[in-house]
Structure 1
Amino acid sequence: MTIVDSTTLPWVNGQDVYDSMEPAFRDNFGGDPEQVRDLLSRYWMRSLWLDRASTRRIDHVRAVPGYRDLSEAYHDSVEESYFLGGVAELSAEGRLVEGDYFWRPPGWVHKAWSDEGFENILCMEGEVASEHSGRVSRVVCADDRAGAQARDSADGGIGPRGYQRRVESRFVPWTPLDAPWSGVDAVVLGLPAASGGAWSTTGEAVPLGKPLSHNVATGACSALVRLPAGYTGAPTPVPRERFLVTTRGDLVVDGVTLTPCSLLHVPADAPAPTLTATTDVELFVKVGERA
């Protein structure tokens, strides 16, 4: 198990962001060095998770007003994002605001810009065969390819989660995780009911969920989870890797109070610590394939 307390993480900018990127990404921004330096000066990042072997990364990102990608491009990796605030325009997904989410399979051409600035949790999936996701890269494309699938059908397409272009989570109801209509598998998440109580389809003192994306072949998923103030419980071991990123409220984990945007990583089959919500807590949760 790994706890990443966001209060201990430095914000990095400019050259430090550049140095953290995979060569196949950082060497393909589509502009001259001065343009790249100016672009990255508008981009701030805290690294929540970085796996050099698979190239998977999970970052807390803030872009200041005037951020604008230098070119249209696609990735060989799945890219996934949950927006915490501000406004971003993406040539593939449209306008994204607080609570919006996308899961973009490899090969889809896009460009991002923002007059207002934005904040999000940004994930590059890296090498995961069951998600049809390859290593993190950036491939520059012509402007007229915006929104198109640039890879052939053997390597591109929509993948096992589909192309979730813009999930507007504010229009998705919160439902108890064990409700048959919730779209979020409580067994996969391994989150128990609040201590001292059973699951309920009507009460507010139980964990609630919203589905974001789901791999139809493996059951891997991304979801939002809400823990009500006073909740306490330990996620049960499941044969799947789990990432929990706090997006709202204070969550106590092993005596450490995690504020937004902190991360808890629970490996497959590993026991997890007790989670206590001192306020209403919202989590962005990623659950992997079965080990």
Structure 2
Amino acid sequence: MTTTIVDATSVPWVNGAEVYASMEPAFRDNLGGSPDRVEELLSKYSMRTLWIDPVTTRRIDHVRTDPGYLDLCEAYHDSVEECFFLSGSVELTAEGDFQAGDYFWRPPGWVHMARSPEGFEGILMMEGESPSDGSGRVSRVIRPDSDAGCNPIREGEQSIGPRGYVRRAEARHMVWRRHDDSVTALGSAELTSKVLSSNAVTAAASVLVAVPAGCSTQIAPSDRERFLISTTGTITVDGHDLEPCSLVHVPPGAAAPTLSTDDGAELLVKVGAVA
């Protein structure tokens, strides 16, 4: 397997019916309204698909909504969902108000809905089938409003998953720490980072990493799958200049690329369990 580079500038924005067509049937058939209301909802939702795996249903999307976006009902997913917010603001029931630099990791089963009077932008990730993270296939299951903030399908430790329920991590208020590269294997001692979520059993993690200006690193090979998603600044990967929200996928055991930045950049790094 080889490294894949996805230049965000080459990925089209899609809206409305095109978004609907890209969804898993178990998700799109449960948006919670009449066809007219679903059409109105999706007219305020745009995305660029950075990664999609039809086998596991995992997907990573760069999403943005227009002002006035409002989900049609409360619901839960059978998949882990996580998001890193880039701009704007959104309220998630039972989880709070999110702004740029905030993050959540939600285990399957937790009931929620989104409303955004201002509109927001973020990197939205559905894990899909991943037994080590307690995640099932991407779906959407409608629930009554009274279930908001509850988990009707799992109890106790099973309800929070192996990373805990990261309801709202205000990463913008976290300090940058010297980066521990033992899991991410990015190959540089110059990095700093903020750990957003981490699997207590496998050490799989989502980490925000700051790459300082002038840094160049040969990413090390690893027995873990890695996704590197740029959130700010321009990065150069094996000679490709990539703008924010570009993605680099490095499979387990693959020859890893070189990464550099002239002016500094930040990366959202997703690392899986040992293959």
TM-score normalized by the length of structure 1: 0.92
Q: 2:193 aligned with 1:209, yes or no?
A: yes
Look up the match of 2:257: 273
Residue 229 of structure 1 aligns with an amino acid whose one-letter code is A
Query: Partners of 2:191 and 2:52 in 1: how far apart?
Result: 29
RMSD: 1.1
Query: Partners of 2:147 and 2:171 in 1: how far apart?
Result: 28
Q: 1:168 aligns with which of 159, 167, 170?
A: 170
SS at match of 2:183: helix
Query: Partners of 1:10 and 1:115 in 2: how far apart?
Result: 25
Q: 2:242 aligned with 1:240, yes or no?
A: no
Query: Partners of 1:19 and 1:68 in 2: how far apart?
Result: 20
Moved over 2 A (4+): 152-156
- What per-residue deviation string (whole Å, max 9, x for no partner) do you get for residues 116-164 of structure 1? 0000000000000011100000000001111111213399500100000
Q: 2:72 aligned with 1:70, yes or no?
A: yes
- What per-residue deviation string (whole Å, max 9, x for no partner) do you get for residues 157-210 of structure 1? 001000000000011111111xxxxxxx412111122xxxxx4xxxxxx11110
Residue 187 of structure 2 aligns with an amino acid whose one-letter code is P
Runs of at least 5 residues in structure 2 that lack an aligned partner in the other structure:
none
Query: Partners of 1:50 and 1:279 in 2: how far apart?
Result: 30
Residue 25 of structure 1 aligns with an amino acid whose one-letter code is F
Contact 1:150–1:156 (8 Å) recurs in 2: no
Residue 131 of structure 2 aligns with an amino acid whose one-letter code is A
Q: 2:98 aligns with which of 91, 96, 101?
A: 96
- What per-residue deviation string (whole Å, max 9, x for no partner) do you get for residues 233-252 of structure 1? 11101100000000000000
SS at match of 1:95: strand
Q: 2:184 aligned with 1:189, yes or no?
A: yes
Query: Partners of 1:156 and 1:75 in 2: how far apart?
Result: 15
76-85 or 266-275, larger mean C-alpha shift:
266-275
Q: 2:59 aligns with which of 39, 57, 60?
A: 57
Cα distance, 1:269 vs structure 2: 1.4
Look up the match of 1:158: 160
Query: Partners of 1:125 and 1:155 in 2: how far apart?
Result: 19
Contact 1:244–1:283 (8 Å) recurs in 2: yes
Contact 1:91–1:110 (8 Å) recurs in 2: yes
- What per-residue deviation string (whole Å, max 9, x for no partner) do you get for residues 90-114 of structure 1? 0031100000000000000000010
5 Å-filtered alignment, 1:1-291, equals 1-153=3-155, 156-177=158-179, 185-193=180-188, 199=189, 206-291=190-275
TM-score normalized by the length of structure 2: 0.97
Total equivalences in the alignment = 273
Contact 1:64–1:117 (8 Å) recurs in 2: yes
SS at match of 2:160: coil
SS at match of 1:162: coil
